Every structure is written in structure tokens, then in C-alpha cells.
Amino acid sequence: MKLLKSILSLFIPVLFMSSCAEKKYTEALTPEESLATFQLDENFEVSLFASEPHVLDPVEMIIDENGGIYVVEMPDYPFQPEGAAGKGRIKKLIDKDGDGKIDDSVIFADGIKDATSLQCWKGGLLVTAAPYIYHLVDTTGDDIADIKEILFEGFFQENQEAQISNLRFNLDNWIYATNHGNAGMIKYNGNPAAEPVDLSGTDFRFRLDRGQFERATGTAQFGQTFNDWGHRFISHNTTHIRETVLPYRYLHRGADLMDKKAALNISDHDLLMYQISDAPYWRVERSRRRQEVFDAKNLDRVEHVEGHFTGSSGGTHYGGDLFSEEYQGNIFTGDVMGNLVHRDVLVLAAEHAAYTAQRHSHDRTKEFLASSDQWFRPVNFCVGPDGALYVLDMYRQHIETPLSIPEDLKAEMDFMNGDDKGRIYRIVPKGTSSADFSKVIAQKNNTGQYLDWLKHPNQWFRQQAQRILIERQAQSLVPDVKKIFEGNDQAAVRLHALYVLEGLNALTTDLVKQALHDAHPRVREHGLMLAEEYTGCLPDMLALTDDEDHRVVMQSALSLGAMQSEKVIPALADILEKHFDDEWMRRAVLSSPSGSSTDMLAYLANNTSLLEKLHSEKESIVKAMGYSIGSRYEPKELREFLQLMPKLPTAYAVSSLDGMAEAIKKKKHTLSESIKENLSALRQNSAQALSEAVDRILENS
């Protein structure tokens, strides 16, 4: 008996401590129980589309042109498996009885390390799985990939939350991927002779139809989406929605800019979100400790425990045709820490070059969907051919990288708890019936049917049609596609048709001119991009510098900067004079060698009123010009620049020289003797402020 008591005296405290530790975290709910915790916009209903065992740890779902449903599973998260293989899978989900719910699955590909996203391509799937992008194809019809080709390699592969991901086919025929700005020398195995591309500080894009690959404006973490007009929006933890306003190719084309800002946080409602779940114990405790440190150092900083975006993920544009008009074009973003789905309404005013993301009046004090289940992890979304919004729930007890959690708290956490679970939910307007994709798609397996898809109100159909017509190089359909571009009353349809023609190498000067004169500003905007390859369109491009839509004007500045003509500088100067107070207009003009040249600065001084009055934003313009000129360090241009300085108002001349000084210092240029002579001459014959500016250049050389 004494022995039994002794054993119990040792065992009971262990049980007690174990019980206390377990109570710190909630347990998993069944799919039905979790569904019951959802608070959803009252105009919609949500149902379970798929769950374990058919889907586990889902992070991406796509639906191909045949109605095939593919999901990426990421059971290794958040740890990196050793060796070349992992537990990652791509499954094909099957609805055998056509009731709109998954009741079977097939493993399309298995043992993939760090697979994160998918994109349909030529009868197979492109797969991001750092350090690679694969092309997987099933050639035997058994729903199992038997070809695995590495297309690209060299991507960063350390942190699973920041790897290559989010493959998306865009209107411009490029496929984009998020890279979180991580370094990597990317090689394309389709052309081993091609120069590798360094992705440091950027995202990635490529065209397999033309063998092109390059940097893209970034940096996104997990989530990117494109609206009907090809505008790109990205997700990143605390910043739930940013717009990539300026493409990378414009900001890095020979005019080294002082300010290369290309993406913008467009939310007008900051970090606040309306969470109905409790923060987990580890987060409460970690925040308490951090706040103690802030307070001890007298820092004016608050460590928010809940109610603020910290795990934004999977932002997705709703381009379907099932939701009512007020939800059309909205972006839905999950917050995996807040256990909710947030809805943004995108607004692009004619007088603005960038969007604003707003809460709808319906959502002022609530979210589109929120759950009290701490395990609900809405990591990503998919808009289907049925127009429904599908929510991918990774369903984990913990979804934070262990690297950011103190060791003692981490010791009590099972990061793999839930790796045997996963759910996908279907959100539709109330009263909507379930969908059998095979009936919705009505596949006839002929190229001609895609002409009808190209005109479909659901973005899913238009994107599939555009991609497939380009994959198949359907030259016989060019006349039909031209008719759609010239005659369809929907601007989004005209744009898809225009880019099908681009992908089929069937554009002409006349077609591009039609786009430049289109009634819709977004078509005119894309017409400008395409016109960069058609010198005969220059007069039409110049006319758009005075367009009523500011985004069109901004694009005219970007596109004219790619043209070789004596008419470019006067046109760019006119844009600056009218829109100098718009940061995006300034950046667009200055992005080209012409827009940041000494000739441009001289034109502004001699032919416009821009520099007649002192203004801080005008000072920033001339300083940026001085920086670009100093950065290029072309002797002839530098001499002309220095000779121009006495002719400028002193304050603007000083700003220009200070810009040059910054570039000389940053680029570590060594001034030639002739340039030093020019500087000395300027110093001797100038006011004190100008002489001091010259001294700053000499000090930095």
C-alpha cells in the first residue's frame, strides 16, 4: 500500500501538470462543429465542400478547364524535412455522385518538398516547390503525374512562409509568383544559355510561350491576385492588401531612381480587424513579455494581442458571376491568426493613379466571415467556374513559425497537431444550389468552344480560354478573336481578346490604335503598354497624356518613356507640370532616361512654369533628376547639367546638385578632372548656397 501511495504521489502531480498544460490550448472540432462557429455575412451561406481524409493541410486549390479539382497539401509545415523529399502532396479531389461535395481523392503527385501553389499549363500543372518550379503531367489518364520536369531552379528554400509561391496567370500572358524578396539566382532549364536572374528584393514572373523570365515588383509573402484589368494586389502578414502600382520593368530601365517605391498599402482602415476568437495562450504570453520590454525602455509602442492583422494570407479577387454587384471585384483575404476572412472593396477614382481598399458600409464593425474556432486557418481561396468562393482551411492548432516563439512556450506546443486535418468550404449567396463542375463547364474538348468562354461573365472562363488559345497557338481563330475585340460591349472581354491576339502574334498597329481610342480607360491603359512596340502609335499615345483618367495618364508617362522621339520630353514635361503633386506621376515620368535627363530639366526650366515658384514636391523632382544624372555618370550629360545650374532658380539648382552628390557617394564614382574643372568653375561664379552644394559633391567624390 505504501508503495502504491508513493507511486501515486509521483504520478498524480505529473497528470495534474499535463492537464494544466493541455488546457492552455483548445482541442480540434469536427468539420460540422467548426462550421457551426462561423459568423458569415447574412447574404451568404457556407457549406462543407471537402474535409479529411480527402484533403489534409490544404494551401492551394485550382480547377482546370476540364473541371478537375487539384489541391496542394503541405503537411510538413512548419518544419523543413531533411533530404530532397517531403510529405507534400498534390491531390485530385473527386465528386463521384455530382452532389457538389468531395467524396474521393487521388494522389496526383507525392513526396514533394515544400509544394505551395499550382497553375494549369499545357494539360498539366506548374508547381512551386522551392528551390524549383516543376511541370507535372499525367500522360496515361490515371490521374497520377508520370512526367516531372524542372522548369526553373534556384529559389530561396529556408523559411516555408517566404518561399516561391502563388502562381497566377495574368491578363498580360505572364505567370506571376510571389517570392518575398528573397535572394536566388534563377535558371530556366528551357534555355540553359539564358542569363540567370537574381530575385533579391523582388517577386518573379515568366512566359513559357516565349521562354521569358524576369523580376516583378514585390515583395509579397503569401497571396497575390489580379482584378479584371490585370492590376496586381498582394498580401503580407500585417499589411493585408497592397497594390503593385508600378511594374518593375519601368523602374529599372536605365534611370537609376532615387525613389523606387513601386507598391502601396492601399487599405484605408489600417490594421483593425473584428476577431471573435480568443488569442492563443502563447501569443498572449509572448505579447505580455514584449510589452514589458517596450515599457521598460519607455518606447511608445503597443504589442497587440488580437484584433489587428498579423497573419494576412491568400488575398483573392472575386471575378465570378454568382455574387451580387456589390461583391463583384471585391478582394477576400484570410487572417490565419484572427480566424477570419476580410473583405475589401476596391475603388479607383478617375483623379487617382492608385486604388483605395475600403470596408463596405455593411462591414463597418464586423468581418465577412469570422470563427470562434482557434483552429480555423483560412490560408487561401479559389473562385470556381460555378462562381462560388472556396475557402481553404489548413486547420491547425498552431500556425506560427517556431522561430518567433520563446523556447519555454514552444516546449508546450505541438506544431504538427492537426496535420491529419483540413477543410474546404464553399460560400455562395443564400438559396444557391450545389454545383457539379462537369455540368457547369460543359466541356466539348474543341478549341472553338473557347471563343464562347472568352466572352463569359465569370473571370475563370475568360482566363482559361485565353491561356488555352495561347498554349495551342490557335491561329485559325484570329479572325474570330478580332471580331470579339472590335465588337464586344464588355471592356473586360475586349481586353482578354486583345491579349489573345498579342499571344498569337496577331497584333497590328491598327488594332493597338483601336485600344488606345477605346471608350473604357482600362483598355486605353493596356493599349499604351502594347503601343510601346508600335512606333506608328506615337501620336495616339501623346494624345492620352491629357486623358481624363489619371491612371491612363500615368501609363502614358511610363510608355512614352520607352519611345524614341523628340516629342517625348515635351509630353512628359506637360504631365509633370499638371500633376507634380502626385507621387506616382512623378515616379512614372522620372523612371525613363528621357524623363530624368538634363534635356528634360532644361525643358522644364525654359518651356514651362513648373520651376517659377518654390514648392517642396518640385524640389524633390529636380533632386531626383540630379540623382539619376549623377548615377548614370555620362560625361557629356554631366557637363551640360552643371552648365545648366546657374540658369535655374537657386533653390532648385541646390536640390539638383544635392541629388547628384547623393548619387556620386552611393555609386562611389570618381570624378574625372574635366568634371572637377566644371564644378570649380560653377563654384567660383555662383551664389554661396550653390558653391556649398558643389563642395558637397567634391567631398563625396
Instruction: Measure the CA angle with vertex 89, ends 85 and 93; round to 5°.
Output: 165
Three-state DSSP at 261 gives coil
Alpha carbons 497 and 488: distance in angstroms, whole number: 9
Alpha carbons 389 and 386: distance in angstroms, whole number: 9
Tell me if 532 sits within 8 A of 563, measured CB to CB: yes
445 — pLDDT class (breaks 50, 70, 90): low
Q: How is the beta sheet containing 239-244 ordered, strand by strand?
A: 224-226, 232-236, 239-244, 263-265
Measure CA 166 to chain center: 9
| Phi, psi of 240, rounded to the nearest 5 degrees | -75, -20
Taking the CA atoms of the chain, what radius of gyration do you get in angstroms?
28
Task: Tell me the per-residue pLDDT of 648-684, one tens digit each, with 9 for 90 and over.
Answer: 999 999 999 999 999 999 999 999 999 999 999 998 8
Q: Which residues contact 184 (CB under 8 A, 6 or more apart)?
A: 131, 154, 155, 156, 198, 199, 200
| Phi, psi of 256, rounded to the nearest 5 degrees | -70, 110
Tell me if 530 sits within 8 A of 507, measured CB to CB: yes
Positive or negative, the CA dihedral 451, 453, 455, 459 is negative
326, 427, 337: which is closest to 381 by C-alpha? 427
Virtual torsion, Cα 321, 324, 328, 334, nearest 10 deg: -100
Q: Where are the beta strands (DSSP E) in 512-597?
A: none
* pTM, full prediction: 0.94
63, 75, 69: which is closest to 91 by C-alpha? 69
Residue type, 650: T
If one counts every other C-beta atom within 10 angstroms of the C-beta of residue 604, the result is: 24
Q: Which residues contact 599 (CB under 8 A, 6 or more apart)?
A: 569
Grid coordinates standing for 695? 563642395
Alpha carbons 48 and 153: distance in angstroms, whole number: 37
Provide the pLDDT for residue 99.
86
Provide the pLDDT for residue 22.
56
Q: Is the pLDDT of residue 283 over 90?
A: yes
H/E element holding 650? Answer: helix 650-667
Provide the pLDDT for residue 6.
44
Tell me if 361 sits within 8 A of 350, measured CB to CB: no
Domains and CATH numbers, the chain: 37-431 (2.120.10.30), 606-701 (no CATH)
Position of cell 552644394?
693
Task: Tell me the per-residue pLDDT of 578-627, one tens digit each, with 9 for 90 and over.
Answer: 999 999 999 999 999 999 999 999 999 999 999 999 999 999 999 999 99
Residue type, 664: I
User: What percentage of the chain has pLDDT greater than the value 90?
Assistant: 85
Alpha carbons 393 and 58: distance in angstroms, whole number: 7
Provide the pLDDT for residue 12.
42
User: Quick one: DSSP state of residue 436?
Assistant: -
**150 has which bridge partners?**
134
Q: Is the pLDDT of residue 83 over 80?
A: no
58 — pLDDT class (breaks 50, 70, 90): very high
Residue type, 680: S
560 — pLDDT class (breaks 50, 70, 90): very high
Instruction: Measure the CA angle with vertex 210, ends 171 and 485; round to 5°.
Output: 35
Task: Tell me the per-residue pLDDT of 362-406, one tens digit each, with 9 for 90 and over.
Answer: 899 999 999 999 999 999 999 999 999 999 999 999 998 888 899
Grid coordinates standing for 237? 502578414
254, 250, 247: which is closest to 218 by C-alpha? 247
Grid coordinates standing for 613? 515658384
Task: Tell me the per-residue pLDDT of 205-237, one tens digit each, with 9 for 90 and over.
Answer: 999 999 999 999 988 989 999 999 999 999 988
Tell me if 253 sits within 8 A of 591, measured CB to CB: yes
User: What percentage of the chain has pLDDT greater than the value 70?
Assistant: 96
- SS3 sequence of 83-135: CCCCCEEEEEEECCCCCCCCCEEEEEEEEECCEEEEEEECCEEEEEECCEEEE
Tell me if 496 sits within 8 A of 462, measured CB to CB: yes
Provide the pLDDT for residue 444.
66
Alpha carbons 8 and 699: distance in angstroms, whole number: 80
Q: Which residues contact 399 (CB under 8 A, 6 or more apart)?
A: 78, 311, 336, 337, 377
Alpha carbons 655 and 435: distance in angstroms, whole number: 63
